[in-house]
Structure 1
Amino acid sequence: MRVLEFKAKGKTTQYSAIDEAIKTAQFVRNKCIRYWMDNRGVGQKELYRHNTALRAEFPFVKTLNSHACQVAVERAYTSIARFYDNCRKSIAGNKGYPKFKKNCRSVEYKTSGWTLSSDRRSINFIDKKGIGKLKLKGTLDLNFYPLEQIKRVRLVRRADGYYVQFLIRIQNKVVDMEPTGKIVGLDVGIKDFYTDSNGHAEPNPKFYRTGSKRLKFRQRRVSRKKKGSVNRKKAINSVGRVHLKISRQREEHAKRMARCVIQSNDLVAYEDLRIKNLVRNHCLAKSINDAGWYQFRKWLEYFGVKFGKVTIAVNPAYTSQQCSNCGIHVKKSLSVRTHACQCGFLLDRDWNAAINILKLALSTIGHMGTWVKDPNASGDSTSTVIGAILSQQVGSMNEESSHL
């Protein structure tokens, strides 16, 4: 699946109608979760029947397209199935018990409830919510794809406005590239975004740190406004815009770095980090989240599939402690940034770790992120094996910018 996103332009009344549609989808999802809590053991079919009863009982639910209500049911059942799956796997800690949503930001339609204009520059939502015709602002061209390939349309609310996403079913093909004859190991860090086995260190932009001054200014303005007032809502929205800009900067940087690394090497080895566990350290949590290690890894795996390159995730245990020259373990704290071994080998700590990561990958230790060119590889999901350490899996990594 490929996701094409456009900015939606409409009137204030249309935006209010979109908000109402999102609230209705949230209502259906929460009602299905409550129905499951009161009737343990019910399946997806029973939830669909409960959705039919909700449409008959509540007129505002009936005004939403029936397929959009079905998607809300599917979202509820997905959280239920994930909870049962975690219980079967005996995952330690929180099993992800289904919770009620308080602030949904999207509503999703299937193949009905909307129509595209002849020039594909506007979309008309024809259910009874009153959304109507929205102009699509963007550089991508929908005329390239037949209508039957558009499987779902999603309305998304963000701090800077409303967006329309088209989920298009396409067969992604592996891009043929000439072999570079190069291999590299990557060690991600906080001081530097990553250090490779060749000694190159990419600086960490630290978008959150650099934007914290502006963020604090916006947050102080929120605290000065009266609770429940319109001005307070506007101030909260301005805070959301700052956070949105930071997240987009971090995602775009990780995407660019991953693409550059993949195109420059035939094999890329990286650490199989437990990000969820690492952020439990309250002293480093902000810096780890700001670095965007997870975004970098998911784009490495996506571009590895797209360009037919090999990506390998290895166990990061002792890669910083082990000497890449003689193999002896040299214990050092996080504050020690230079690896000094008794064999006389002296090297930067991260550079030494990157060399060890590459050696582990070449010895086939660790699980494969992607393998050599597969003619059937679609790129719809990462090929991380069952039991992978990623806190969440990517369903589709086709949000790639058009200019990349």
Structure 2
Amino acid sequence: MLVFEFKAYAKPIQFAAIDDAIRTVQFIRNKCIRFWLDNPYVSKYDLSKQCAILAAEFPFANELNSMARQSAAERAWAAISRFYDNCKKKVGGLKGFPKFQKDNRSAEYKTTGWKLADDRKSITFTDKKGIGRLKMKGTRDLNFYQPDQIKRVRLVKRVDGYYVQFCIQADREEIIEPTHRTIGLDVGLNHFYTDSLGNKVENPRFYRTGEQKMKLSQRLVSRKVKGSSNRRKARVKLGRVHLKISRQRKDFAIKLATCVMASNDVVVYEDLRIKNMVKNHCLAKSINDAGWYQFRVWLEYFGKVFKRITIAVNPAYTSQECSSCGVIVKKSLSTRTHVCRCGCRLDRDHNAGINILNSGLATVGHTGSSVLDTGNAWGDLPSTVVGENLQQQGGSLSQESSSL
């Protein structure tokens, strides 16, 4: 599934209609959550039936397209099913009990309620909300895809405007020559990662860089009177700072993951539990600022695009074990050099990168060796050979950036 995004241009009255549609989606989702709380044994289909009841009871809900109402009910069921799955799997800590939404910023249409122009540069929403025709500008070209390939159209509100997203049923594949290279990545805070060859990539620290500007913007918000237009403008300014940091971090992860996957046939990395690591309040801000999870998600995505192998290995003792003789050399976080009695002396992260690579190649075994020799069977192995579902290890890669 491909997601293309375009900036929407329209009149203020049309943007007000989009806001009304987004509020209606939030209303239907919260009503479905309330219905589930009152009737705990309802199913996904019962929530879908509830949409028709709400449309008949509330005129503003009836103005929204029927499939958009169904999408709102599906959002409610996604939260409910995720809570059930976490309970069955006995996930530690909070299980994610479904909550009422207060800050919804998107409305999703399926295959009806919209019509794309012949030149693919504008879209018209045909439901009773009165959104009408929206002009679109972006770098993607929709002319390569048929209208029946578009399975979702999403209206997204951000602090810098409104966007139209198209979810297209298509697979992206790129054929590139095999490099016959393998690499192990050890992510860190001093450097974003250190590979098994000793190469290091600097940590950009986007949040730390923009933190001073963020504090000034937050101070302006706190000084304004609640409910005033000046406070609303200050909140928009603060939201733009957050949005810029989010986009910088995403752009860095995409470009770096593309470079890594295009330059190597096998990439091995640690199967880190970011959710547990951020419980350390001394390092939580720096860990979240690094964006390791987002980098891993894009690594696995481009692994499928380029037909490369990505392997997640157990991070236990990768920094303590000697990459030369295998002896455990205990060291604290402040010790940045690995020194072993066998004579091995390496940078701590370089030693960890070698251990990660060796662990990954041992997992692949003879299959990995044969793949390296042929260079034609990269699609035979799954993108992630070891490790669990990504959704259990951190936040999801949302299509929406945070805004105020």
C-alpha separation in 2, matches of 1:84 and 1:9: 41
Q: Match for 2:141: what amino acid?
A: D
Quote how far apart the aligned CAs of 1:146 are: 0.8
Match of 1:249 in 2: 248
- 1:149-164 equivalences under 5 Å are 149-164=149-164
Match of 2:119 in 1: 119
CA displacement 1:196-239 (0-9 Å, x = unmatched): 00000111111111111211111111111111111111111111
CA displacement 1:30-54 (0-9 Å, x = unmatched): 0000000000101112112211111
Tell me, yes or no, if structure 1 residue 329 matches structure 2 residue 328. Answer: yes
Aligned partners of 1:314 and 1:365 also within 8 Å:
no
Given candidates 364, 370, 378, the residue that maps to 1:373 is 378
Aligned partners of 2:309 and 2:381 also within 8 Å:
no
C-alpha separation in 2, matches of 1:288 and 1:92: 20
Match of 1:101 in 2: 101
Quote how far apart the aligned CAs of 1:376 are: 11
C-alpha separation in 1, matches of 2:183 and 2:71: 43
C-alpha separation in 1, matches of 2:201 and 2:175: 27
| Cα distance change on mapping 1:376 and 1:269 into 2, 3 Å | closer
Aligned partners of 1:10 and 1:133 also within 8 Å:
yes
Match of 2:66 in 1: 66
| Cα distance change on mapping 1:257 and 1:347 into 2, 3 Å | same
CA displacement 1:156-201 (0-9 Å, x = unmatched): 011111000011111333x222221211100001110100000001
Match of 1:195 in 2: 194
Match of 1:183 in 2: 182
Match of 2:232 in 1: 233
| Cα distance change on mapping 1:19 and 1:383 into 2, 3 Å | farther
- 1:5-404 equivalences under 5 Å are 5-173=5-173, 175-364=174-363, 372-374=377-379, 386=388, 390-392=393-395
CA displacement 1:267-320 (0-9 Å, x = unmatched): 111000000000111110111111110111011111111111111100000101
CA displacement 1:109-136 (0-9 Å, x = unmatched): 0111111112111111111111111110
Q: How many residues align?
A: 389
Match of 1:400 in 2: none
C-alpha separation in 2, matches of 1:34 and 1:2: 33
C-alpha separation in 2, matches of 1:231 and 1:160: 17
Aligned residue for 1:374, secondary structure, equals helix
Paired-residue identity, %: 60
| Cα distance change on mapping 1:4 and 1:384 into 2, 3 Å | farther
Aligned partners of 1:181 and 1:266 also within 8 Å:
yes
Aligned residue for 1:270, secondary structure, equals strand
C-alpha separation in 2, matches of 1:54 and 1:193: 50
Query: TM-score w.r.t. structure 1 length?
Result: 0.92
Aligned residue for 2:267, secondary structure, equals strand
Q: Match for 2:85: what amino acid?
A: D
| Cα distance change on mapping 1:375 and 1:149 into 2, 3 Å | farther
| Cα distance change on mapping 1:48 and 1:99 into 2, 3 Å | same
Quote how far apart the aligned CAs of 1:13 are: 1.2
| Cα distance change on mapping 1:264 and 1:339 into 2, 3 Å | same
C-alpha separation in 1, matches of 2:15 and 2:95: 36
For structure 1, which segment, 86-95 or 318-327, has the greater mean C-alpha deviation from structure 2 after superposition?
86-95
| Cα distance change on mapping 1:383 and 1:153 into 2, 3 Å | farther
Q: Match for 2:79: what amino acid?
A: S
Aligned residue for 1:202, secondary structure, equals strand
C-alpha separation in 1, matches of 2:279 and 2:191: 21
Q: Match for 2:73: what amino acid?
A: V
CA displacement 1:310-346 (0-9 Å, x = unmatched): 1110000010111111211111111111112222321
Quote how far apart the aligned CAs of 1:393 are: 5.9
Query: TM-score w.r.t. structure 2 length?
Result: 0.92
C-alpha separation in 1, matches of 2:224 and 2:138: 35
Q: Match for 2:352: what amino acid?
A: A
Aligned partners of 1:26 and 1:104 also within 8 Å:
yes
Aligned residue for 1:35, secondary structure, equals helix
Aligned partners of 2:308 and 2:379 also within 8 Å:
no
C-alpha separation in 1, matches of 2:324 and 2:187: 20
Match of 2:402 in 1: none
Aligned residue for 2:135, secondary structure, equals strand
Aligned partners of 1:120 and 1:142 also within 8 Å:
yes
Q: Match for 1:332: what amino acid?
A: K
| Cα distance change on mapping 1:224 and 1:72 into 2, 3 Å | same
Aligned partners of 1:186 and 1:194 also within 8 Å:
yes
Aligned residue for 2:80, secondary structure, equals helix
Quote how far apart the aligned CAs of 1:395 are: 9.5
Runs of 4+ in 1 over 3 A off after TM superposition: 382-389, 392-396
Q: Match for 1:85: what amino acid?
A: D
Quote how far apart the aligned CAs of 1:394 are: 5.9
For structure 1, the residue ranges without an aligned partner over 5 or more in a row are 397-404
Q: Match for 1:374: what amino acid?
A: G
| Cα distance change on mapping 1:210 and 1:82 into 2, 3 Å | same
C-alpha separation in 1, matches of 2:220 and 2:252: 29
C-alpha separation in 1, matches of 2:96 and 2:264: 38
C-alpha separation in 1, matches of 2:269 and 2:388: 18
